[in-house]
Amino acid sequence: MDILDPRINTYLEELASVDDEPVLLEMEKRAKDNGFPIIGRLCGQLLELLARSIGAKRIFEMGSGYGYSAYWFSRATGPDGEIHLTDTEPDNEKLALDYLGRAGLDGPIDYHVASAFEAFDATGGDFDIVYCDIDKDGYPEAWEKARGRVRVGGMFICDNMLWSGRVARGTEPPNEQRDAWGKIIDQTNRTIKKDPAFRSLIVPLRDGVIVALRTTKAGRDAEPRLFT
């Protein structure tokens, strides 16, 4: 199902086309040609806006692909930021460094070819933003790892939280794997919503992006919350 009426989506994309830059268009063409799931223009602009709104400098991405989401974060942090990218696929690192280098946005980039969780554990300190876009069965663990390492006033942002509508029961024809991931995403949404240290909302652009703002230190050192 379309999350957003296609006519509204087209309207928003027309407005968003003010940012047409050659490298950005190349990255978007690669996604289209190869069916690679980038976060897309509207959500990319949302990432930049959110990062700018909190003066984000230190960002950790779980699941970076060839650097499309990092393109938008880098525009916000500037060259003196610190953006950790992660992906298990070495070719994605090469592509990302090429694209971001040619766009003049590689200043803050530190690319880890590794499991997002291993790289996260190995990288110390708190973050202004932890952004998650890995395989969806990893979402509960991503949240449990990230929630204690987002600074107060910082954000956990995660893509695909509406999962083509499959989080809402009965909206899509049955599909074993997609439905299984839909249930995991739904549980993750509900767990985030209940967390007393965060205020959150799913923005229904493209496939749904959750924005969870850390408002308090409460629960910081608490045991991870278990799913029921």
Ligand X SMILES: C[S@@+](CC[C@H](N)C(=O)[O-])C[C@H]1O[C@@H](n2cnc3c(N)ncnc32)[C@H](O)[C@@H]1O
Distance CA 227, CA 185 (A): 12
Minimum CB distance to ligand X smaller for 100 or for 212? 100
In this structure, the dihedral spanned by the alpha carbons of residues 186, 191, 194 and 199, taken in order and rounded to 10 degrees, is: -80
> Token pair for residue 94?
């090469």
Q: What does the DSSP 8-state code read for residue 226?
A: P
Q: Which stretch binds ligand X (CB under 6 A): 36-44, 162-170, 185-193, 202-210?
A: 36-44
Minimum CB distance to ligand X smaller for 99 or for 198? 99
Distance CA 194, CA 197 (A): 9
With CB under 6 A as the contact rule, the residue among 45, 64, 74, 189 that binds ligand X is: 64
Report if residue 140 touches ligand X, rule: CB under 6 A.
no
Q: Which stretch binds ligand X (CB under 6 A): 17-25, 128-136, 148-156, 215-223?
A: 128-136
Report if residue 69 touches ligand X, rule: CB under 6 A.
yes
Distance CA 138, CA 171 (A): 23
> Token pair for residue 217?
């230190």
Q: What are the residues binding ligand X (CB under 6 A)?
A: 37-39, 63-65, 68-69, 86-89, 92, 115-116, 133-135, 138
